[in-house]
Amino acid sequence: MSSLLSRKAACNAHGQDSSYFLGWEEYERNSYDRITNPEGIIQMGLAENQLCYHLLESWLANNPHALGFKSQGQYIFRKLALFQDYHGLPEFKKQAMVEFMSEISGNKVTFEPQSLVLIAGATSANEALIFCLADPNDAFLLPTPYYPGFDRDLKWRTEVVIVPIHCKSSNGFQITEEGLEQAYEDATNRNLRVKGVLITNPSNPCGTTMTVDELNLLLNFIELKKIHLISDEIYSGTVFNKPDFKRLPGFRVGAIYSNHKMVLDAATKMSSFGLVSSQTQFLLSVMLSDKYFTKTYIKENQKRLKRRHKMLVGGLKKAGISCLKSNAGLFCWVDMRHLLKSNTFNAEIELWKKIIYDVKLNISPGSSCHCNEPGWFRVCFANMSGRTLKLAIKRLKDFVADHDEFNYHTKYHQPTT
């Protein structure tokens, strides 16, 4: 029957068999609910921010004209429902979005609306850029560890190759010149044409922001190699300690900003396959124009993320588990190397399975993020209530205590013959 399908439909290169996605499948089979399934799996593999939804709901309740599609007292539903130019609504793209971008940069940078392409989310934006910049079997360099979904988002339809820039825990997984040059050499040895470097800043899964030295290193490298740099800043609004980034998350809107006219022209054409609905654009144009609300939201969001991050890091520390020092993101990069039976990725997957099936927590193993050191895990903390997070920490703490007790008895109480 596969002969009836396209090569794309028949291939198995989507990345869905990654342990990252397999953990989600197990969660969906046995998801935790405090009332109906208290022994179920708690989802800690979802990088979603639910800490300030009530602020958005309150704003919507106080601004019914936004949801009711009214402007200056007149219903504009019909206007929004009709076909729209896929360049974006002028009141959103040319006013609210550009002004918001300038505001969150401290009004130190001026953004031009003609350099902005709107598209339905970061996944679509990244894929559109890859289509614009590369052909099948071209390569992009990505620092590890990186978001597991990139194996799907960047590769599946575009057929580009991801070549890892290996980063190490010894320097906090920062990018080095040696790592960049080695990745470029690896690609060249495989007869791959390197078209660019893609970074996430703040990092997913590390929750760190890039240093000035790293950014200067990257800029010098791409200038030397005459390649592109893509900076995915989807988590810039989650920075709760300096340096300061800001972003308003929660709506399926992505933006490509470039000063390269040919890239903008191609990306605009690509955006027709992933348009942001006119209704969403209108709603956000009203919301982002409310300067008092956006400032209040961003400030409160950062405060709550910092508090929740502290709760997770502090709870894990009491369980004897440390985390990479971080200042952003909806997750922590957690060091469980001391819980491995051996320093191997097989041991990491064995530990991950115990945490999934016995501890009932869905966390993401470092191998799914292409980390080259076994024993690291991404653990999300903003997609659940504080009560649920405390329960998750308790489960993990109990597991570590049992693990330590088992190792003690195994080591000191071997049977005699």
pLDDT of residue 243: 62
Q: Is the confidence at residue 408, as pLDDT, over 60?
A: no
Q: Which domains are seen in the chain, by residue range?
A: 7-46+295-401 (3.90.1150.10), 72-294 (3.40.640.10)
Burial group, residue 1, by CB count within 10 angstroms (0-12, 13-18, 19+) = exposed
Give the confidence band of 106 by pLDDT, cuts at 50, 70, 90.
Answer: low
- Using CA atoms, how far apart are residues 378 and 148, in angstroms rounded to an integer? 11
Which residue(s) pair with 331 in the sheet? 380
Give the confidence band of 247 by pLDDT, cuts at 50, 70, 90.
Answer: very low
**Residue 244, Cα to own-chain centre: how many angstroms?**
18
Give the confidence band of 405 by pLDDT, cuts at 50, 70, 90.
Answer: low
Q: Is the confidence at residue 417, as pLDDT, over 50?
A: no
Tell me which residue of 165, 146, 163, 154 sits closest to 214, measured CA to CA: 165
pLDDT of residue 409: 45
Beta carbons of 37 and 30 less than 8 angstroms apart: yes
- Using CA atoms, how far apart are residues 389 and 316, in angstroms rounded to an integer? 11
pLDDT, average across residues 112-133: 91
396 or 73, which is more confident:
396
Give the confidence band of 414 by pLDDT, cuts at 50, 70, 90.
Answer: very low
The per-residue pLDDT for range 166-195, each reduced to its tens digit, is 999 999 999 999 999 999 999 999 999 999
Residues in the chain: 417
Most confident among 120-134, 235-249, 292-306, 377-391 (mean pLDDT) = 377-391
Give the confidence band of 96 by pLDDT, cuts at 50, 70, 90.
Answer: confident
Strand order in the sheet with 331-335: 322-323, 331-335, 376-380, 364-365
**Average pLDDT over the chain, rounded to an integer:** 89
253 or 371, which is more confident:
371
pLDDT of residue 369: 97
* Local structure of residue 106 (DSSP, 8 states): T
Give the confidence band of 415 by pLDDT, cuts at 50, 70, 90.
Answer: very low
pLDDT, average across residues 207-217: 94
pLDDT of residue 97: 83
Q: What pTM was estimated for this model as a whole? A: 0.90
Q: Is the confidence at residue 356, as pLDDT, over 90?
A: yes
The pLDDT > 90 percentage for the chain reads 64
pLDDT of residue 179: 98
255 or 103, which is more confident:
255
The per-residue pLDDT for range 48-72, each reduced to its tens digit, is 999 999 999 999 999 999 988 888 7
Most confident among 54-68, 137-151, 224-238, 391-405 (mean pLDDT) = 137-151
